[in-house]
Amino acid sequence: MKFNLPASSALTGSSLSLPEARKTILARLTPLSSETILLDQGLGRIPVSSFKSTRPKPSFDQSTRDGYAIAQSPQEKSGEISFRLIAEIAAGSTASISLVGGQAVRIMTGARIPAGTERVVPFEICREKENRVYIDARFLQSSEIFIRRRGRDLKAGRVIAGSGKMLLPDHLLMLAENGYITIPVHRKPRVAILCTGSELVTPGQTLKRGQKISGNGVLLQGLLQEAGAKCIRVTTVSDSLEAITEQLDYLLSLSPDLIITTGGMGPGKFDLLEQVFTRLQGELFYNSLKIRPGKSTMFGLLAGVAFFGLPGPPPAVRLLFHELVTVALYRLQGMRQPVPPLHKARLLEPVTGGRSRHLNLKGGIVVFDDTTLCVRLAGRREQVRAVLHLRGRKRSLAAGETVKIRLVAPHCGC
């Protein structure tokens, strides 16, 4: 066990606003190294460089309907015109067929258009008899020819998945269509979690009087997975300088990219995280924020590893994770715009802002009223899907007022 004891155990740090805290985090972190993965493992990953289309889409002129591909038609504008059927082309056929005037082929949706084709005419407006197809001349004057031309949807050399942007299912579809099998992406952050508190026991242990189950580890594992990170260790430790120091020293030996602790923050006798951080010669960037909850929150580097010290209550852990930790995780994964945007929403219920003059964060549920984005506070048993940003100077807000919210579904960047 390593002990590096500086002369002073006191930490100093300025109190920052939420935007200042994010700016501080982003200034200290850089994207992780790359790894090459199979395409079918790419969902939610962030490419190191942009991918371009290798072929046009469609790659050939193709039929958009089941029908008949016909060569140049006669000039008659009334009555039925007949064409001699010479072949049938199914989707996927590689046969080389050419048409000349007066000829036609049966053709299926997606099939390659034969050379010499003027248009495709849908089956339902045609009549076939004895190897000839009869078509009312009026339908041959239509501007709709039911042919999708080569490269109409996508030309070769166009960006189909940009660097710094999260890969979604449609990106994977386009990459597959363009022949990509493996892709280089930033690797997932490896995160270690340390929950502090002598009153805490891990799930599955017997509770004694005065104890409670430590749920922050499970909560954070789920949040990490949503944010694209990998949890490598969850540990619960008592309020002891030696015990916390030993556990942090052990977690550092696992070579994580980020460490999150819960509890042990604040001015209390058993709030020891800042003292331990000093023991291990951590580099502190802030230990106080102008937000509620989260006044006693810290961010720094511990042996070069990003370190977040969060409060103990799970509601505060959840809110601060969404507002701060995800920013770090998205940066480490190479996201170009790692801060999710704020949106305006209409309150469905009155809300009390709180006593603090600083920004108040509250968990919310998002709903739509016709086309209007609306929000209400989340109940204790509901899943938080938005964070309300309530300005502290306004103690209460009425139903119908507009507030700013941040959606907390997995962020795709921009």
CATH code of residue 375: 2.40.340.10
Specify if 6 maps to a domain. Answer: no
108: helix, coil or strand? coil
What would the mean pLDDT of 304-317 be, rounded to a whole number?
A: 94
Q: Which pLDDT does position 93 carry in this prediction?
A: 92
CATH code of residue 89: 2.170.190.11
Separation CA 133–CA 71 (nearest Å): 12
Residues of the chain above pLDDT 70, percent:
92
- Dmax of the chain from CA atoms? 102
Q: Which pLDDT does position 316 carry in this prediction?
A: 94
pLDDT surpasses 90 at 392: no
Q: Are residues 98 and 139 in the same domain?
A: yes
Output the pTM of the full model: 0.84
| Beta bridge mates, 363 | 387
User: Torsion-angle region of residue 364: left (phi > 0), alpha (psi -120 to 50) or beta?
Assistant: beta
* Listed residues 300, 332, 364: the one ending a domain: 332
Q: Which residue reads 């709903």 in tokens?
A: 367
What would the mean pLDDT of 377-401 be, rounded to a whole number?
A: 88
> pLDDT tens, 106-160?
999 999 999 999 999 999 999 999 999 999 988 888 889 999 999 999 999 999 9
Q: Are residues 174 and 53 in the same domain?
A: yes
Q: Are residues 275 and 326 in the same domain?
A: yes
Instruction: State the residue range of the domain holding 267.
Output: 15-33+188-332
What would the mean pLDDT of 188-203 be, rounded to a whole number?
A: 88
Q: Are residues 348 and 275 in the same domain?
A: no
Specify if 10 maps to a domain. Answer: no
What would the mean pLDDT of 32-45 be, rounded to a whole number?
A: 97
101-105: Cβ within 8 A, 24+ apart: 101/71, 101/72, 102/71, 102/74, 103/70, 103/71, 104/68, 104/69, 104/70, 104/71, 104/133, 105/68, 105/69
Specify if 155 maps to a domain. Answer: no
Confidence of residue 224 (pLDDT cuts 50, 70, 90): very high
pLDDT surpasses 60 at 191: yes
Specify if 156 maps to a domain. Answer: no
CATH code of residue 256: 3.40.980.10
pLDDT surpasses 80 at 13: no
pLDDT surpasses 90 at 79: no
Q: Are residues 108 and 47 in the same domain?
A: no
Q: How many domains does the chain have?
A: 4
Q: Are residues 202 and 284 in the same domain?
A: yes
User: In the Cβ-directed half-sphere of 140, how many Cα atoms lie within 13 Å?
Assistant: 24
User: SS3 letters for 64-105?
Assistant: CCCEEEECCCCCCCCCEEEEEEEEEECCCCCCCCECCCCEEE
Token code pair at residue 151: 């490269």
Q: Which pLDDT does position 8 carry in this prediction?
A: 34
Specify if 3 maps to a domain. Answer: no
Q: Are residues 215 and 301 in the same domain?
A: yes
User: Mean pLDDT of all residues in the chain?
Assistant: 89
pLDDT surpasses 60 at 5: no
Q: Which pLDDT does position 10 carry in this prediction?
A: 37
Buried b (16+ CB within 10 A) or exposed e, 383-392: ebbbbbbbeb
Q: Which pLDDT does position 391 carry in this prediction?
A: 84
CATH code of residue 45: 3.90.105
Q: Are residues 207 and 313 in the same domain?
A: yes
> pLDDT tens, 338-368?
998 999 999 999 998 666 788 999 999 999 8
Q: Which pLDDT does position 139 carry in this prediction?
A: 87
Q: Are residues 209 and 307 in the same domain?
A: yes
* Listed residues 306, 332, 358: the one ending a domain: 332
pLDDT surpasses 50 at 6: no
pLDDT surpasses 80 at 200: no
Q: Are residues 192 and 127 in the same domain?
A: no
Residues of the chain above pLDDT 90, percent:
72
Out of 208-222, 243-257, 264-278, give the one with best mean pLDDT: 243-257
Closest CA to 321 of 309, 333, 332: 309
pLDDT surpasses 60 at 57: yes
Specify if 311 maps to a domain. Answer: yes
**Higher pLDDT pick, 312 / 190:** 190
> How remote is the C-alpha of 226 from its chain's centroid?
8
Specify if 365 maps to a domain. Answer: yes
Q: Are residues 90 and 134 in the same domain?
A: yes
pLDDT surpasses 80 at 267: no
Q: Which pLDDT does position 295 carry in this prediction?
A: 87
Separation CA 379–CA 400 (nearest Å): 19
Q: Are residues 203 and 298 in the same domain?
A: yes
Neighbours of 219 (CB within 10 A): 18
* Listed residues 332, 361, 396: the one ending a domain: 332
What would the mean pLDDT of 29-51 be, rounded to a whole number?
A: 97
Specify if 123 maps to a domain. Answer: yes
